[in-house]
Structure formats: structure tokens, C-alpha cells
Structure 1
Amino acid sequence: MKTLDITNWQQFLDTISTLDQWAFRGQVVSGVPLYSSLSRRLMMLDAPAEEWALREQRTVRVFRRKAHVHIDSHSALDNTLRCLAMMQHHGAPTRLLDFTKSPFVAAFFALQAARSDCTVYALNTPALWSLAPKNFPDLTRNTINPRHNTQLETYFLSNQFPVIWFGEPDEMDSRLVAQSGLFVIPGVLNMSIGELLQGYETPESGDLLVRLNLRTEMRQEAMRELYRMNITHATLWPGLDGLAASMHQELEIVWQPLLDEASKFIHTPPSKTS
């Protein structure tokens, strides 16, 4: 996997201009392999690998049995991919990895809480569209399409096939829409996305996965530029929770002329004298 060090905003812009129609994922901690939240949870629990598929299937069954009391429309629970997307949206560990079509959204999620170097992963989705694993050439994108329950259960929930699929459910929720989001779905939970991609032919157009290492020194400039682009928690997480979280950014982004003007109206107590 190619790694590029990005030290300033202009270099970031120049780099992403060469990654047209790729998908992106921002991670606060630099260099951490791409595992789903479900994989990370099962690793933390030290669960035996042979139990991973059964444990995942049980969480889906339990969620389906209980989620209906909290939602108005139960049709979303009928389609397993939409059900997994709902689980992901509300904080359940799933095999779905959140990506976005926007490199700027990915940069925001990487940088917003970073205090050291962070990472944006770029996935070559135009090349992957027509590829299948070298050892399973019949497992094309259409063959394994997880929008269909039987294919999701066969090629993904079985945890047996080293495949990758990317895309959205047939119906997207407001958060996916706001974030230009899509999911990357691994067929094997105990392999990272990078490891799974090693089973695919490298396209003539270049790498399937590129890691952009965003250096600490670019953070302040980048966060200011993202703010100017209206990329904040308030726009990416529709609702009051997103608005409240965006106050972190408001504390950070300071326009000096406005600050100077506001300071005129701040009362400063007189100093004490002895």
C-alpha cells in the first residue's frame, strides 16, 4: 500500500485531484489498519475466530427482534443490509466500514480530534468496480451484491469469502446523504481491508488503496479551510447532537477582526491594589 505524507492543505488538494471518484475514510489515529467496528470488538473480546460469524448473526437477530419498538416503519428491518446500516448508525458494532465520496469529509473526520498525525485512506473504487478476487473470479460485484439478503448471508455473514463490496443500501438515511457516505463491506472479519485487497489484481491505473498521512503541522490550516467549506458536525450529523458537537469547531475557529471587535465589549474587572 502506497503511503503519502501530506504536510499542507495545497498538497492535500493536489493529491486528491488525482484520485477522481475514489472513496475515502478518515481515521484520527495514524496507520491503524482498516478493520470494522465488529472486528475490533471481537478482537478485544478475544473471541475464537470460528465463533465470529455466529456471534454476528446473533446480534442481527436480537436487533431485529427488539428494534421495532423504537421505529415507525418496520420495512427497514426486512432487508439485512438496511438493518445493518441502522445498527451502524446507532452505534452497534457491524462489519460495515463508513467511507465517503468526499475527501474533504474524510479529512474532517481524521483531523477534527487529532493531536498528532492522522490518516485518510483512499480506496480505488473505479478499479474495484470490475474486479473479483484472483482465486474466486466468479465472485463479481453483481454476484456478491449484499443488497439482496441471500447474497449478503452467503458471501458476507458466512464469513468465508475474501471479498470486498462497496456501496449504499437501496434507501439511505439522512446521515449517509449528508456525509456523501457509502459502506465498504468485508467478506472475512479477521482480515483487514488492506489484506483482502491483496487478493485482487493490482490495476494498471495504480494502487487499490492509498494512505494519506496528514501531518500535524497542516491541521490548523486544514480545519479553517474545512470550516469555510461548511464541513462541520452540524452539517454532517443532521440534528441537535451534530449542532452541539459543532461548538468544538466554533471554539477553535477564530476570525481575528471579529475577535478584536468583540473584545471591546468584554468587561475586564479592575485590578486589585494593595
Structure 2
Amino acid sequence: MALIKCRHYQEPKICGWDQLLECEKRHRSDPDAKDKETEWIFKGHKEKNWRLRTTLEREIGNIGINTKDLHEDSKNRADYEDKYDNELKDILRKGLFGQSVDKIEAGLLRKFQRQFHHHDLRVPGNDDVTEWLALMRHYGAPVRLLDWTYSFYVAVFFAIEEAEGDCAVWALDKKVIINRVLGRCGEDSVLPWYQKECLSRDIDVIKSRTWETVFSQSATPFVFPLNPLRLNERLVIQQGDFLCPGNIRNTFEDNLAEVLPSAQNGSDYKLFKYVVRFDVKARKEILQNLHRMNINRATLFPGLDGFAQSLKTLLVSPKNLLKDF
């Protein structure tokens, strides 16, 4: 895992609601804010050992990797993730059943575009690949986009809602990524000059030419924040943002490692993985406080499905379900 090998991130341990509040405060008012502009985004994982993987990577791995044998050969979950990652890298590099990952992605996108109008009349323009990929992610299709949120507490909810043990909340300084990719604030761009100029002229990647030049035909590993101009309802409610890898023949984490600056003297990290430890009492308190903040399945996933799933959270405080007489 490139992020671990290069020591690109810090992994603090936090316990309980009070420490979560302190963590959010740290990233809301960064101590370096007077000197540097920062903008933190967050992602929750219900399992602390989970890697940062896109749905496209996960689905390709599920099909191409014999996970049963991996489980039997692994000492623990962390060892399993390492072995899985090595096999996934090999598949992404060589292709799945003889087909390159780039061609697979293009085929999935084309299939979705050709049949989407049967289900919704609000069809994006063919050139707006960003909106198409956001819609695919919204409906559960495998894509290269990795979803994050501007809300620390939304990330905490996704991490702890179904966690059975230690979970994780990632925090990433989005501004550092932008500066590293576009060569701003004294940073050297990680992109070739023609890709940098193309992306700078179309920062929202609305034109298909930008997508093809910077992402689709790219051999450059990097990540860049992307969000469609027309946000779907779920993106608005969850305060969502996407990170898009440049070269999908590499893993998302390898792409991310290329644009993360190394911490100087063991400080000034721009990526954190907070391991959240909790017992039954702490989990109950966290879920109750999030519910009071109006963060639950019903609000994050509008509709009957989200409402019905939100009832699970109410079980942490059964007395609130009882009718007062």
C-alpha cells in the first residue's frame, strides 16, 4: 500500500463522542488556516482496515480475485487486505479476462448512457462525463469516482452505523490536492503541461475533450476533486464530493499517493485516518447525538427505503419508540 509505505498519513485513535467533537473542531478551524487555505473532506469506513477503493476496483476485484483462498492464506484482516491489494494491482495493470480496465469503464458508461432514458427523462448531455459518472455512482454502478463528504459528522455516521468493531474516518485536505495537480501556491504540477492547461480551462470537466485528455487517456497517476454542475438530491443532502483518479490501471490509493505531500518532520499531515474505538455505551451515545443533529438514514437517503432503514438506529433508545399514555 503506497500510502503506508510512504508514510503519507497519520492514524490517531479516538474514543467516544467528546473526542469526535475535538477532531471535528481541529479540521473546522485548522491551526494553519492563517497561513494556508485548507478545505477538509471526509470519508467513513465501518471497518478500520478497509482501503480507499472505488466501486470499479471493488467489483473488478470481486470477480477476478479468489477471495476464499485469500481468506484461508491470510493471518488476519490486515494481511488479507495486503494480499488482496497486490492481486488487484495485477488485474488493473493486465486487465480483466483480457480486456483493459479503460475499455471496461468505457463500455459501462456507454451502456448506462444508452439505456438511462428508459428510467429518467432528465438526461445529461453526452459530453458531460462527470454528471454521467455521478449518476452511475448514485444508482450503484461501478465507477472510478470515490465519494467523500464535506461533513465530518456524516462521515462518522457512515463509519459507525453498522460497525461491529473499530471503524475509521478519513480526513483529507482537498486544497492540497488541487494545488499539487494544477501547480498552484508554488507547487510543481504532477501533470504534463498539456493536461494541466486542459484541466485549468475546464475545471468542472464539462467537455468530453477534457475528460479524454486528462482522465480517459491518461497514464499519469493523480486524483482530482470532481462534482457535476447539476448536483443530484443525495449529493446535496450528504454534502458529497468525489475524488477521481487519473489512471485507473493503478489503484486509487496509488493515484492518491502521487499527489500527497510527504509530512515534514513528522507533522503537517494532509491525510488522517482516525480509528474510532467504541463500546456499546459509546456507540449508543454517538448514534443518539447524530440523530439529534438530523443525521440518519431517513435524512441522508430520502424516500421510503431510507426512512425504513433509519428505524434501526432508533433501537439504541427503545423508550423513544413507546407511546406516551
Give TM-score scaled by structure 2 length. 0.73
Matching of residue 206 in structure 1 with residue 257 in structure 2: no
In the alignment, structure 1 residue 122 sits paired with structure 2 residue 171: yes
Equivalent position SS for 1:35: coil
For the residue of structure 1 that corresponds to 2:180, the secondary structure is coil
Instruction: Supply the AA of the counterpart residue of 2:15.
Output: T
Go from structure 1 to structure 2 and tell me whether the alpha carbon gap of 1:253 and 1:61 turns closer, same or farther (over 3 Å shift): same
Q: How does 1:1-274 map to 2 (within 5 A)?
A: 1-20=9-28, 21-46=39-64, 47=91, 49=93, 50=95, 51-75=100-124, 77-132=126-181, 135-136=190-191, 138=193, 140=196, 142=200, 145=203, 146-158=205-217, 160-200=219-259, 201-202=261-262, 206-217=268-279, 218-255=282-319
Separation (CA, whole Å) in 1 of partners of 2:113 and 2:319: 48
Contact 2:148 2:240 (C-alpha < 8 Å) held by counterparts: yes
Gaps of 5+ in 2: 1-8, 29-38, 65-90, 182-187
Number of equivalences: 261
Separation in structure 2 between the aligned mates of residue 48 and residue 210 of structure 1, nearest angstrom:
26
Distance 1:99 1:135, change over 3 A: closer
Aligned letter for 1:39? E
Which moved further from structure 2: 45-54 or 169-178? 45-54
Percent of aligned positions that are identical: 31
Amino acid at match of 2:159: A
Give the drift of 1:255.
Answer: 4.8
Change (3 A) 1:78 1:143: closer
- Check the 8 A contact 1:115/1:216 in 2, yes or no: no
| Aligned-pair CA distance for 1:36 | 0.1
Residues 92, 249 of structure 2: 8 Å contact kept? no
CA distance in 2, matches of 1:202, 1:143: 28
Q: CA deviation at 1:147?
A: 3.4
Distance 1:190 1:240, change over 3 A: same
Q: What are the superposed Cα offsets for residues 58-77 of structure 1, whole Å, 9 maximum, x if unpaired?
A: 00011111111111122355
Range that drifts further, 108-117 or 180-189: 180-189
Q: Distance in 1 between matches of 2:55 and 2:245?
A: 12
Larger radius of gyration: 1
Q: Which moved more, 1:124-133 or 1:244-253?
A: 124-133
Q: CA deviation at 1:153?
A: 2.3
CA distance in 2, matches of 1:193, 1:17: 28
Q: How many angstroms apart in 2 are the aligned matches of 1:166 and 1:159? A: 16
Aligned to 1:271: none
Asked whether the 8 Å contact 1:36–1:97 carries over to 2, the reply is: yes
Q: Which has the higher helix share?
A: 2
2:165 aligned counterpart, secondary structure? coil
1:126 to 1:18, Cα distance in 2 relative to 1, 3 A? farther
Secondary structure at the aligned position of 2:312 is classed as: helix
- Are the structure 2 counterparts of residues 185 and 41 from structure 1 closer, same or farther at C-alpha, using a change threshold of 3 Å? same
Rate the CA distance shift 1:134–1:168 in 2: closer, same or farther, 3 A.
closer
Q: Could you give the per-residue CA deviations for residues 180-226 of structure 1, whole angstroms, max 9, x where no partner exists? A: 11111111235444432332334778223110111132322211110
CA RMSD of aligned residues (A): 2.4
